[in-house]
Chain A
Amino acid sequence: MKRAIPIFLVLAGLLVAIAVANPYFLEPAGFLGFLKRVAPLAILAAGQYFVIVSGEFDLSVGSLVTVEVVVAARLIDGDEAMTWPVLALLIVIGLLVGLVNGLVTTKLRVPSFITTLGAMLILSGAVFLWTGGAPRGALSQGFRVFGREGVWAVLILLVAVTAAVLLMRADFGRTLIAAGDNERAARLSGVRVDRVRVFAFMLSGLSAAVAGILLGGFAGVSAQVGQSLEFQAITAVVLGGVVLGGGRGHVVAAIAGAFTLEALFTLLNLHGISGALEYAVQGVIIIAAVAAGGLRLPALRLSPSKV
């Protein structure tokens, strides 16, 4: 957890800067709005965290979010009665995609970068093949409540964060991180490495389903809803000090990474960094943050005990 301290400092700094630039941010409605906006990315980051800490990547979440929204719109087609069955189906789709990603990665031994890159192509191709190139149908009001009403989004975020923390404290989380740290040692200690990894991918899929529900609810159907979310989620996790390659990092820090990223966008926006240069600033900050994490002062690291 000590590794994660810098990200919380950065986040606190950004939040203060936002509050200074825009005092409305400190009002309940303003802050609620911020939380609502962060929720999908934070949930995706939590899902991505499980995969990354186990030593893998999930590049398919962006496409999966799009798939969830497009599928929901076509199946619900404005019919309120379909809301709950479709919500259940979306969760199942998320878990299923995660399951397939996980099985291909562990059983067929395809590097997850490739597995999920393939999944990204397949998912976005398949869903538009099905709808003929653009989303069809419409979401019901009941469906949209979750993303539109801030309280819901924040509530779901809270549940997700709590669940993620509890999972990482449980045997599952500890064995998952062990598998990411040293797969062989974990296996030889009786850890079902493949199974925990598959489960991690399923959690990532689940997080994409929930993020899809929130994003679809927030702004309605759109073909671009999931665009580049995978990169944002991975960036958030890495900003949180979680090491690509597995075995290191805390889930709360990964979620804080998502908050930091969103706060950064908000701040750049507030200060009117011109639309174009926004990306350049982002790129530099991401590199700088990760570099600073790697070259951190020894004092901030866990002090090794010399025995």
Chain B
Amino acid sequence: MEDTPQKSPAPEQVILRMTSIGKSFLGVRVLRGIDLSATAGEVHAVVGENGAGKSTLMKILAGVHQPDEGTVEIGGETRSFAHPVEAQRAGVAIIYQEFNLLPERTVADNVFLGREPTRRGLLDRAAMDAATSRLLDELDEHSFGPRDMVKDLSVAQQQVVEIVKALSVDARIVVMDEPTAALAEHEVELLYRLIRRLQGRGIAVLYISHRLREVFDLADRVTVLKDGAHVATVRTSDVTTAALVKMMVGRELDAYFPPRADEAVIGEPLLTLRDAGNGKLDGIDLDLRAGEIVGIAGLQGSGRSSLAKAIFGAEPFTRGEITPTRPANVREGVAAGIGLVTEDRKAEGLVLNQSVRDNALLVTRAIGRGGRSHRSTAAVAALLEKVRLRPPRQETEVKYLSGGNQQKVVLAKWLTLAPKVLLFDEPTRGVDVGAKAAIHDLMRELADTGTAILMISSELPELIGMSDRIVVLRDGRVAGHLPAGATEEAVMALAAGAAGAAA
């Protein structure tokens, strides 16, 4: 795909060269013939739809998986890693897509896990603490220290620990698999600065993200994977966003977001909160009306998830006026026709070892609603058709589905309820571009049929593109309301509490 003859980097500068990598899981080919190289000081992005094989490729590099075919060369030497520790020793550090920390251990313990320094054969905790402190300082992170327990940290702070852990390895190659998924905008800025510093030190950074803006901000080159195959490697300066998306999904995506609701469609409030609060929220006033999508914006930890869980009944409101129902627990919420698409699909949304069918019927069965007809194969097939699951196989275990398809199953689960109010917490986090559009369409369709929708998203373009109205939270309180089509700056101003922010 590279049209312009490339100034090939001097041989000694090529730190990583992966050639013809192939990998199968349980007889299914996940990667075939992948080539990837990185030079010193380069940021090389890897993009592709969910399930394209990005993480698998990185895990091969990190020694988590062993390739079925192909070779990995580091610094010109062919290496094969039987265990992550061997990759570590070869200078590969990785921030995994999923959190990879022990909540019951301290920050320092986590950072040095597997590489604990010793003195005269005994653990040298002082050295661990000192080194961790130094790294935290380097990152300008002063909100916690090496002896804090990881479980007491916020999600963003935990991500910082992951980064420190990767930096503490004396690495030549640093892999970051969606490091920003859990970060707010200003934290992303910090990460950018950090990556620049790594670059300066001649470290090769492999960067995976679904947020194309970051790819263009950071990367020198980008490699596109699709269905486990190598599509192209191009210089970011030589390609446009649209072209990149086309390479990823294999077609052009015309409109990013479905049209907004017609004023006429928006109906009565289905849920009204007045001065509602609990341990994490206070003074919340909010109306959710039939046919409307309300976007909730806010920084990490501003209470967005708490709001959704409170409305749903999982962490109920303890005060305020909530009409028509104030669910005291999940079952009351569900009975009142409220559904919650949780932030963490795997941990909170799905029973991964069960079939698509069992997951889709979970809510129906839990509340014992609907007779036999709701549980029939035909009814479930219709449901899967509605959420556009591809292929709509009912007996597949959900753990074998891609992220986007998994999210569709979660949606199907709630649709059986014919919900009056549906709450979406980061519905497209880690979902690829194609599936994202499908989920957006579905949300709008639901609204059009009279469901009140609340949507939380950390991706401002998505939030702004989808919402009929935006409510910004700050420190568990409503910081302001914005109309459809507000600018990112307006949202950020409210969220961050900048002076003079208009309400």
What is A's interface to B at a CB cutoff of 8 Å? Answer: 171, 174-175, 177-178, 181-182, 184-192, 247-248, 298-299, 301-307
Report the bound CA distance from A28 to B82 in whole Å.
Answer: 56
**Quick check: B330 and A182 within 8 Å, CB to CB?**
no
Report the bound CA distance from A186 to B342 in whole Å.
Answer: 12
User: What's the least CB distance linking B375 to chain A, in Å?
Assistant: 8
7 inter-chain pairs at a CB distance below 8 angstroms, sorted by A residue, are A171-B365, A182-B352, A185-B342, A189-B413, A190-B335, A248-B353, A301-B26
User: What's the least CB distance linking A127 to chain B, in Å?
Assistant: 38
User: What's the least CB distance linking B307 to chain A, in Å?
Assistant: 15
**Which residue among B330, B340, B390 has the maximum number of chain A CB atoms within 10 Å of its CB?**
B330
**Which residue among B352, B362, B366 has the maximum number of chain A CB atoms within 10 Å of its CB?**
B366
Residue of B whose beta carbon sits closest to that of A301: B26
Interface flags for B392-407 (1: CB within 8 Å of A; 0: not) read 0101110011100100
Known A190-B367, A247-B353; contact A185-B27, beta-carbon cutoff 8 A = no
Q: Which residues of A sit under 8 angstroms from B413, Cβ to Cβ?
A: 189
Known A175-B362, A301-B26; contact A182-B347, beta-carbon cutoff 8 A = yes
Residue of B whose beta carbon sits closest to that of A187: B330
Known A191-B362, A307-B402; contact A186-B331, beta-carbon cutoff 8 A = no
Report the bound CA distance from A198 to B405 in whole Å.
Answer: 33
Q: Which residues of B sit under 8 angstroms from A182, Cβ to Cβ?
A: 347, 350-352
Residue of B whose beta carbon sits closest to that of A305: B396
Does B480 reach chain A (CB closer than 8 Å)? no
**Quick check: B27 and A298 within 8 Å, CB to CB?**
yes
Does B449 reach chain A (CB closer than 8 Å)? no
**Quick check: B368 and A185 within 8 Å, CB to CB?**
no
Known A184-B348, A185-B348, A303-B28; contact A191-B366, beta-carbon cutoff 8 A = yes
Residue of A whose beta carbon sits closest to that of B27: A298
What is B's interface to A at a CB cutoff of 8 Å? Answer: 25-30, 51, 312, 314, 330-331, 333-335, 340, 342, 347-354, 358, 361-363, 365-368, 390-391, 393, 395-397, 400-402, 405, 413
Report the bound CA distance from A190 to B336 in whole Å.
Answer: 12
**Quick check: B393 and A303 within 8 Å, CB to CB?**
no
Nearest 8 pairs of A and B residues by beta carbon: A304-B400, A190-B334, A190-B366, A171-B365, A181-B351, A191-B366, A178-B351, A298-B26
**Quick check: B358 and A306 within 8 Å, CB to CB?**
no
User: What's the least CB distance linking B280 to chain A, in Å?
Assistant: 17
**Quick check: A247 and B354 within 8 Å, CB to CB?**
yes
**Quick check: B391 and A305 within 8 Å, CB to CB?**
yes
Known A247-B354, A303-B27; contact A175-B400, beta-carbon cutoff 8 A = no
Report the bound CA distance from A182 to B359 in whole Å.
Answer: 11
Known A174-B358, A178-B358, A307-B402; contact A188-B351, beta-carbon cutoff 8 A = no
Q: Which residues of B sit under 8 angstroms from A185, Cβ to Cβ?
A: 342, 347-351, 362
Q: Which residues of B sit under 8 angstroms from A307, Cβ to Cβ?
A: 51, 390-391, 401-402, 405
User: What's the least CB distance linking A242 to chain B, in Å?
Assistant: 12
Q: Which residues of A sit under 8 angstroms from B26, Cβ to Cβ?
A: 298, 301, 303-304
**Quick check: B314 and A178 within 8 Å, CB to CB?**
no
User: What's the least CB distance linking A218 to chain B, in Å?
Assistant: 38
Q: Which residues of A sit under 8 angstroms from B331, Cβ to Cβ?
A: 190, 192
User: What's the least CB distance linking B471 to chain A, in Å?
Assistant: 23
User: What's the least CB distance linking B147 to chain A, in Å?
Assistant: 28
Report the bound CA distance from A255 to B51 in whole Å.
Answer: 38
Report the bound CA distance from A248 to B401 in whole Å.
Answer: 18
**Which residue among A181, A187, A190, A248 has the maximum number of chain B CB atoms within 10 Å of its CB?**
A190
**Quick check: B354 and A178 within 8 Å, CB to CB?**
yes
